[in-house]
């Protein structure tokens, strides 16, 4: 603890921290136009895999096209990274004009300028590195994972992956909010297409739809935020905005200025599955597992974190908004952890853990450590991708089995040894095992929260610590159930594609079933990502040792620089300890305690877990707790009853109104007036010629009579 104390002391004079105090004006760099290829390569892959889809290519070609394109993008990102280093000045590369027009010459407020151009600062690079890197690895993994779909959905799958990487790169490279919005919706589209990949499963289709629509609700906030920014600042280009925000004072501004961060955060909460818009992410697990790993764990869901980090100067101007972000993050973290503890589908457990970990990231942003948030994003990307990929390997091997009660002792099943041990690494990192990368990144956030002076951030820190214990419990609940213990397994009810010959195992009894172990592509990727997960610990160790590390330097040279330095706090907070000591002690207790409890209930005394559940259910006063947790606190049902239901009923009522009131009563009613009038005079038209003639003569006589009457009364006669 003492050592840690001294480390924080050295922070202030470490060179990297003192360099920049405001965001550097970006340099227009047309010579870097090759960065456009980072976007173009996935775009080409979209086209080529689309062609493969149309030509019904029956080989793994689309998979390798995608892998090549993504690897190319990753190589270009690396090239850019080595060119610029951690601390390069931001650059802007204009690619082509997009939604761009002007109606005056006065500059701001007289143009809407949203071009397809690239803004590269360290934040962009940071995200690009792990998006393209993990994207490539997961694509390689998927070439094997999806092999049973070769010739059917294979090309469609990789088409979706390419769309995703294209959109995600656009999102993080955008130089204006509108292009970011394009990427934002683009990743939503990719998510929609890939969640609904098994389109014959109604659940998958519904989940895709739900993801898109719930994300749209968040996008609404983002759209309004973009408009508010334009209204208030006259531009939506990041570079110009940063310069404006640099010069602004904290907490000053009109009502609608202070509304902007709330709108943006709504978008971020939608995309990153935070309260109250998290409901789509667990359902998104209907997609193929590489998709869950790539999109719904490692990359896309961190877009919200990216958005807030990108507009961090604005958030820094509004401390209340930041506090809201922190609290929403913290509450999401603990809320979804409670659900995660009670799920039996281990992919869902990981999904809730993703929501929970994203909550930590938002907590980090909110309490003021963008470094912590970004670092946690990085470590989480690796260990969560690892967890999902191991889950995928198990699904792949056991015909879609995801129930942790129906699998056991996999580490002794031939071929699953590596999967089990890599999964253990993932679980350790997730449960913030002391001195794992997961612990290092989480602690930065918790220390910052516990050092907070206002907005109840200290409480938030405690919530984070409790959540850490729960996280350790549910992570190891999965591992001890699935990988440890006696060997026992039942194959899933279906293979990962139900129109697939693989579905055969359904009819087989458990003892006939031979799990097929992952081969080199999957195992290799697992190893690489596991190594990556180890490597992500390096910046954390350097931070511990008081050295400047690249994550921190990158944040310090980006729009998120305001929170790039960790709080320099030594005052006593609780129990006679300062935040560092607190987190160190209680974090360790939480992690080990959680693991120990999980070990007792799910490895040593598996029966007692059932007994505990039975006991809880037997007591009426507390039985709601496990029931509610297993039913996800009935949030879906709540939304269904409060939003979808009323809207659906309104739709029926309005449809009825439209048919019978607007169309029936008003339009047809008016339409009936002439007919009714006509019926009044119908007797005159009896079909006999004389009848018509009489009418005509009578009409003429009336006209003559009227004219004569006018004559006589007009006085002209006299």
Q: Enumerate residues 217-256 that contact another protein by CB under 8 A.
A: 217, 219-220, 223-224, 226-227, 230-231, 234, 256
When asked if residue 109 is in the footprint of another protein (CB under 8 A), the reply is: yes
Q: In Å, how far are 283, 291, 292, 540, 706 from 536, measured between CA atoms?
A: 29, 22, 21, 8, 101
- In angstroms, what is the minimal distance from the CB of 123 to another protein? 22
**Residue 7 binds to another protein (criterion: CB under 8 A):** no
Nearest residue (CB) to another protein, 251 versus 651: 651
φ, ψ of residue 601 in degrees (nearest 5): -75, -30
Tell me if 94 contacts another protein by CB under 8 A.
no
Total Cβ atoms within 10 A of residue 262: 17
Is the CB of 1 or the CB of 47 nearer to another protein? Answer: 47
Closer CB to another protein, 178 or 432, in the complex: 178
Note whether 184 and 164 are within 8 A (CB).
no
- Which of 374, 384, 370, 337 lies closest to 356 in space, CA to CA? 337
Nearest partner of 183 among 53, 42, 356, 357, judged by Cα: 42
Contacts of 40 (CB under 8 A, 6+ apart): none
CB atoms near residue 28 (< 10 Å): 12
d(CA 144, CA 60): 9
Judge if the upstream peptide bond of residue 260 is cis by omega within 30 degrees of 0. Answer: no
Nearer to another protein, 231 or 572 (CB): 231
Whether residue 178 contacts residue 230, with contact meaning beta carbons closer than 8 Å, is answered with no
Residue 718 and residue 711: Cα distance in Å, rounded? 10
Find the shortest distance in angstroms from Cβ 227 to another protein.
Answer: 4
Q: Does 104 bind another protein (CB under 8 A)?
A: yes
Minimum distance from CB of 683 to another protein (Å)? 10
DSSP H helices, 236-318, are 238-246, 255-271, 280-283, 289-293, 303-310, 312-316
Q: Is the dihedral of CA 527, 147, 204, 209 positive or negative?
A: positive
Q: Which of 29, 100, 506, 570 binds another protein (CB under 8 A)?
A: 100
**Taking CB under 8 A as the criterion, which residues in 416-445 touch another protein?**
none
Alpha carbon distance 149, 156 (integer Å): 10
Residue tagged 């191991």 (tokens): 390
What CA–CA distance (Å, rounded) separates 218 from 275?
A: 11
- Site for another protein (CB under 8 A): which residue of 22, 55, 151, 199? 199
Out of 516, 658, 699, 704, which residue is the one contacting another protein (CB under 8 A)?
Answer: 658
Q: Least CB distance from residue 223 to another protein, whole Å?
A: 6
> Per CB under 8 A, which of residues 602..631 are in contact with another protein?
none
Question: Which one among 32, 205, 596, 603 touches another protein, defined by CB under 8 A?
Answer: 205
Main-chain dihedrals φ then ψ at residue 696, nearest 5 degrees = -65, -45
Nearest alpha carbon to residue 326 among 382, 258, 269: 269
Cβ proximity to another protein, 204 vs 393, nearer residue: 204
Among positions 663, 677, 703, 710, the unique one binding another protein when judged by CB under 8 A: 663
Q: Which stretch binds another protein (CB under 8 A): 3-11, 364-372, 408-416, 657-665?
A: 657-665
Alpha-carbon span 145 to 154, nearest angstrom: 10
Q: Residue 96 interacts with another protein (CB under 8 A)? A: yes
Q: Please choose, out of 294-302, 537-545, 621-629, 658-666, the segment that lies near another protein by the rule CB under 8 A.
A: 658-666
Q: CB–CB of 326/449 below 8 Å?
A: yes
Local structure of 92: helix, strand or coil: strand
Pick one of 74, 119, 145, 192: the residue that binds another protein (CB under 8 A).
192
Site string for another protein, 442-461 (x = CB under 8 A): --------------------
Nearer Cβ to another protein (82/101): 101
Neighbours of 85 (CB within 10 A): 13
Query: Which residues, 111 to 130, sit near another protein by CB under 8 A?
Result: 112, 116
Listed ranges 57-65, 71-79, 183-191, 617-625: which one lies at the site for another protein (CB under 8 A): 183-191
169 with 42: CB under 8 angstroms? yes
Q: Which of 508, 686, 706, 709 binds another protein (CB under 8 A)?
A: 686
- Binding map of another protein across residues 629-648, x = CB under 8 A, - = no contact: ------------------xx
Copy the structure tokens of residue 247.
């010069």
Estimate the crossing angle of helix 255-271 against helix 303-310, to 10 degrees.
Answer: 160
Q: Which stretch binds another protein (CB under 8 A): 95-103, 122-130, 143-151, 530-538?
A: 95-103
Eight-state DSSP code of residue 518: P
Q: Smaller CB distance to another protein: residue 54 or 501?
A: 54
Q: Kindly write out the interface string for residues 46-75 of this chain, putting x where it contacts another protein by CB under 8 A and - elsewhere.
A: -------xx---------------------
Residue among 52, 60, 66 nearest 144 (CA): 60
Nearer to another protein, 5 or 665 (CB): 665
3-state secondary structure of 98: strand
Among 13, 512, 652, 681, binds another protein (CB under 8 A): 652
Q: Which of 128, 147, 231, 222 is nearest to 184 (CA)?
A: 222
How many other C-beta atoms are found inside a 10 Å radius of the C-beta of residue 651?
10
Query: Site for another protein (CB under 8 A): which residue of 97, 320, 493, 637?
Result: 97
**Residue 514 C-beta: closest distance to another protein, Å:** 29
Per rule CB under 8 A, is residue 681 in the interface with another protein? no
Q: For 98-135, give one letter per residue: b (16+ CB within 10 A) or e.
A: eeeeeeeeeeeeebbbbbbbbbbbbbbbbbbbbbbbbb
Between residues 112 and 596, which has the closer beta carbon with respect to another protein? 112
Nearest-approach distance from CB 668 to another protein, in angstroms: 8
CB of residue 234 vs another protein: minimum separation in angstroms? Answer: 7
Nearer to another protein, 44 or 629 (CB): 44
Would you count residue 101 as binding another protein (CB under 8 A)?
yes
CB of 241 to another protein, least distance (A): 16
Nearer to another protein, 434 or 678 (CB): 678
How many residues touch another protein under the rule CB under 8 A: the total is 74
**Footprint (CB under 8 A) of another protein, residues 283-322:** none
Angle (deg, nearest 10), helices 417-430 and 437-450? 10
Residues 463-522 within binding reach of another protein (CB under 8 A)? 499
Q: What is the rounded distance in angstroms from the CA atom of residue 77 to the CA atom of residue 571?
A: 42
Closer by beta carbon to another protein, 259 or else 577:
259
CA distances from 126 to 202, 309, 682, 718 (A): 38, 12, 84, 103
Rank residues 230 and 327 by Cβ distance to another protein and give the closer one. Answer: 230
Burial (Cβ within 10 Å: 0-12, 13-18, ≥19) of residue 643: exposed
Q: Rule CB under 8 A: is residue 196 a binding residue for another protein?
A: yes
> Cβ of residue 644: shortest distance to another protein, in angstroms?
9
In the bound state with another protein, the residue whose beta carbon lies nearer, of 212 and 513, is: 212
> What residues between 687 and 706 interact with another protein by CB under 8 A?
687-690, 693-694, 697
Confirm or reject binding of residue 150 to another protein (CB under 8 A): no
- Give residues 514-573 in contact with another protein (rule: CB under 8 A): none
Contact indicator for 400, 384 with CB cutoff of 8 Å: no
At its nearest, how many Å lie between another protein and the CB of residue 387? 29
């Amino acid at each position: 603890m003492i050592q840690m104390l001294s480390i924080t002391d050295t922070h202030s004079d470490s060179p990297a921290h003192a360099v920049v105090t405001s965001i550097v004006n970006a340099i227009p760099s047309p010579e870097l136009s090759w960065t456009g290829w980072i976007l173009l390569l996935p775009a080409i892959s979209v086209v080529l895999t689309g062609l493969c889809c149309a030509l019904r290519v029956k080989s793994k070609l689309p998979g390798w096209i995608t892998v090549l394109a993504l690897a190319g993008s990753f190589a270009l990102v690396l090239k850019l990274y080595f060119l610029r280093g951690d601390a390069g000045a931001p650059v802007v590369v204009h690619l082509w004009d997009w939604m761009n027009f002007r109606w005056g010459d006065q500059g701001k407020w007289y143009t809407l300028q949203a071009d397809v151009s690239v803004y590269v600062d360290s934040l962009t690079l940071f995200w690009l590195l792990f998006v393209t890197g993990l994207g490539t690895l997961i694509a390689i993994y998927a070439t094997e994972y999806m092999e049973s779909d070769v010739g059917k959905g294979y090309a469609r799958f990789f088409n979706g992956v390419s769309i995703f990487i294209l959109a995600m790169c656009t999102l993080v490279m955008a130089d204006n909010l509108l292009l970011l919005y394009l990427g934002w919706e683009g990743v939503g589209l990719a998510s929609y297409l890939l969640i609904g990949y098994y389109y014959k499963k109604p659940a998958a289709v519904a989940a895709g739809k739900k993801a898109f629509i719930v994300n749209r609700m968040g996008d609404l906030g983002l759209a309004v935020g973009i408009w508010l920014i334009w209204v208030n600042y006259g531009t939506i280009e990041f570079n110009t905005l940063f310069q404006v925000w640099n010069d602004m004072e904290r907490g000053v501004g009109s009502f609608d200025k202070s509304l902007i961060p709330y709108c943006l955060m709504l978008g971020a909460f939608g995309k990153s599955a935070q309260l109250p818009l998290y409901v789509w992410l667990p359902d998104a697990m209907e997609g193929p597992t590489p998709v869950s790993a790539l999109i719904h764990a490692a990359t896309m869901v961190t877009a919200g974190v990216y958005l807030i980090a990108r507009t961090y100067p604005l958030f820094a101007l509004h401390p209340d908004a930041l506090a809201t972000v922190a609290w929403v993050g913290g509450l999401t973290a603990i809320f979804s952890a409670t659900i995660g503890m009670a799920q039996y589908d281990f992919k869902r457990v990981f999904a809730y853990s993703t929501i929970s970990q994203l909550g930590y990231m938002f907590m980090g942003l909110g309490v003021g450590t963008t470094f912590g948030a970004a670092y946690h994003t990085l470590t989480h990307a690796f260990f969560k991708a690892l967890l999902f990929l191991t889950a995928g390997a198990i699904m792949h091997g056991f015909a879609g089995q995801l129930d942790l009660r129906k699998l056991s002792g996999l580490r002794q099943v031939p071929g699953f040894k590596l999967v089990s041990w890599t999964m253990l690494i993932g679980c350790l990192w997730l449960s913030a095992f002391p001195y794992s990368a997961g612990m290092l990144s989480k602690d930065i956030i918790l220390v910052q929260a516990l050092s907070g002076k206002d907005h109840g951030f200290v409480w938030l820190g405690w919530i984070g610590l409790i959540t850490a214990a729960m996280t350790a419990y549910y992570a190891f609940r999965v591992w001890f159930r699935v990988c440890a213990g006696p060997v026992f397994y039942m194959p899933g009810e279906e293979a990962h594609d139900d129109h697939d010959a693989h579905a055969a195992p359904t009819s087989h009894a458990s003892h006939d079933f031979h799990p097929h172990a992952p081969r080199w592509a999957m195992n290799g990727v697992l190893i690489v990502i596991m190594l990556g997960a180890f490597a992500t610990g390096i910046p954390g160790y350097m931070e511990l040792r008081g050295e400047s590390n690249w994550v921190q330097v990158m944040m310090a040279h980006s729009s998120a620089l305001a929170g790039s330095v960790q709080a320099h706090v030594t005052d006593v907070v609780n129990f006679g300890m300062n935040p560092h000591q607190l987190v160190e002690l209680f974090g360790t207790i939480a992690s080990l305690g959680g693991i120990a409890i999980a070990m007792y209930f799910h490895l040593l005394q598996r029966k007692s877990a059932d007994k505990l559940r039975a006991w809880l259910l037997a007591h009426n006063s507390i039985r709601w707790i496990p029931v509610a947790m297993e039913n996800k606190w009935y949030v879906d049902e709540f939304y269904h009853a409060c939003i979808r239901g009323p809207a659906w009923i309104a739709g029926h009522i309005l449809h009825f109104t439209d048919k019978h009131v607007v169309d029936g009563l008003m339009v047809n009613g008016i339409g009936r007036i002439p007919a009714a009038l006509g019926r009044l005079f119908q007797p005159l038209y009896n079909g006999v010629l004389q009848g018509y003639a009489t009418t005509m003569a009578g009409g003429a006589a009336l006209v003559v009579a009227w004219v004569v009457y006018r004559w006589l009364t007009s006085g002209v006669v006299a």
